[in-house]
């Protein structure tokens, strides 16, 4: 068994995959201890040719997987897990890159301290002005144990790991034994996966070092304007709510998970409506309100709102109980951009 499997979903990234791979094959972690699984999600450019080239260059390190149909990031990551053999799993997006010490440092901490998850810092990177904070401050590690319902509730409310998967090492057995997976054929899949992680992780270490470079790619899924797939944020959250109910977690941690979904589902979608469209789609907002009020009745009275939400977000939650016109929504969007 390898110490680590790094799963990289790839779709139309011929411009970026080589930069990503250069950072992965030059890790200070010994090459015998990890594997890189490249999953081509039916790319329409030369991405697959790049992947094949890397596999030929590093046959003992790289596993190349080609998909005939596009299933979006969620399916590619799920497929990659099926090929993995590592004790820990790392996910890297194919237009991003990592620092050379990332995986050795994090995997050593994971194994030494028997952690379920190790989390590092990331930077939104547009250029080359990054200065390694290891050179300035060394490495600080904060370990937490979640071993009671009370601590689990605090963990869910605070969501300290956030929802992204690319700045983490995750014990493979945590994912497999608890059937944690990504929803397929939808965007915003990290919300689903990240929330489930917060239900089951018991030992988490935070490494106060910036290892991960999140490339601010204007062509990325998250940043494209007026794209239909932005509506997937609502679909992913409804799928998550159904999954939480199926697992019994919604009943057990109702107030905590409801607060979380007010952030990821309602406020997250309002953010998308306001920032990812030139003209805020009024029909999308109306559907959001109907779904939230139908599936989370009484959510505007959640006991955590007053203590856990900024005043601006509290005002947005109050819109659930109001009639909001198209003109009102445009004003909300203008204010959101200022905030």
pLDDT recorded at residue 222: 56
What's the token pair of residue 7? Answer: 């799963």
Nearest to 257, CA basis, from 215, 317, 299: 299
**Mean pLDDT in order along the chain per 10 residues (339 residues):** 96 95 97 98 97 98 96 96 97 96 97 96 74 63 96 96 95 98 96 97 96 80 75 97 98 98 97 95 97 98 96 96 95 88
Query: Residue for token digits 């194994």?
Result: 111
Note the maximum CA span of the chain. 61
Query: Residue for token digits 């144990």?
Result: 145
Nearest to 204, CA basis, from 170, 167, 158: 170
pLDDT recorded at residue 339: 78
Cα distances (angstroms) measured from residue 201 to each of 102, 103, 246: 21, 20, 19
What's the CA gap between 151 and 226, in Å, rounded? 40
Q: Delineate the domains of the chain, giving CATH numbers in brackets.
A: 4-215 (3.90.550.10), 228-338 (no CATH)
What's the CA gap between 106 and 168, in Å, rounded? 8
Taken as a whole, the chain contains a residue count of: 339
pLDDT recorded at residue 228: 86
Cα distances (angstroms) measured from residue 172 to each of 33, 63, 178, 199: 15, 18, 10, 15
Nearest to 80, CA basis, from 8, 158, 147, 187: 8
SS3 63: strand
Tell me if 49 sits within 8 A of 19, measured CB to CB: no
Quick one: 127 exposed, middle or buried, by C-beta within 10 A (0-12, 13-18, 19+)?
A: exposed
């Amino acid at each position: 068994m390898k110490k680590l499997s790094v799963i990289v979903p790839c779709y139309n990234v011929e411009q970026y995959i080589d930069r990503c791979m250069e950072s992965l094959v030059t890790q200070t972690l010994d090459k015998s201890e990890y594997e890189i699984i490249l999953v081509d999600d039916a790319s329409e450019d030369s991405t697959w040719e790049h992947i094949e080239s890397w596999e030929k260059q590093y046959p003992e390190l790289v596993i190349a997987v080609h998909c005939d149909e596009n299933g979006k990031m969620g399916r590619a990551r799920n497929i990659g897990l099926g090929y993995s053999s590592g004790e820990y799993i790392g996910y890297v997006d194919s237009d991003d890159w990592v620092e050379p010490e990332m995986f050795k440092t994090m995997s050593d901490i994971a194994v030494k301290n028997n952690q379920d998850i190790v989390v590092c810092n990331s930077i939104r990177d547009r250029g080359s002005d990054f200065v390694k904070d290891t050179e300035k401050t060394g490495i600080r590690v904060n370990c937490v144990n979640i071993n009671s319902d009370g601590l689990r509730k605090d963990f869910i409310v605070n969501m300290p790991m956030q929802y992204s998967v690319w700045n983490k090492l995750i014990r493979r057995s945590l994912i497999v034994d608890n059937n944690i997976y990504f929803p397929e054929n939808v965007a915003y899949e990290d919300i689903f996966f990240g929330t489930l992680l917060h239900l089951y992780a018991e030992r988490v270490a935070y490494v106060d070092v910036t290892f991960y470079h999140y490339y601010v790619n204007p062509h990325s899924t998250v940043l494209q304007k007026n794209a239909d797939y932005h509506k997937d944020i609502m679909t992913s959250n409804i799928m998550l709510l159904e999954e939480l109910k199926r697992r019994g977690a919604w009943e057990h941690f109702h107030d905590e998970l409801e607060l979380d979904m007010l952030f990821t589902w309602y406020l997250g979608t309002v953010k998308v409506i306001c920032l990812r469209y030139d003209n805020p789609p009024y029909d999308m907002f109306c559907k959001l309100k109907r779904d939230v009020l139908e599936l989370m009745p009484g959510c505007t009275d959640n006991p955590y709102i007053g203590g856990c939400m900024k005043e601006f977000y509290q005002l947005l939650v109050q819109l659930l109980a109001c009639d909001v016109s198209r003109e009102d929504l445009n004003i909300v969007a203008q204010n959101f951009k200022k905030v």
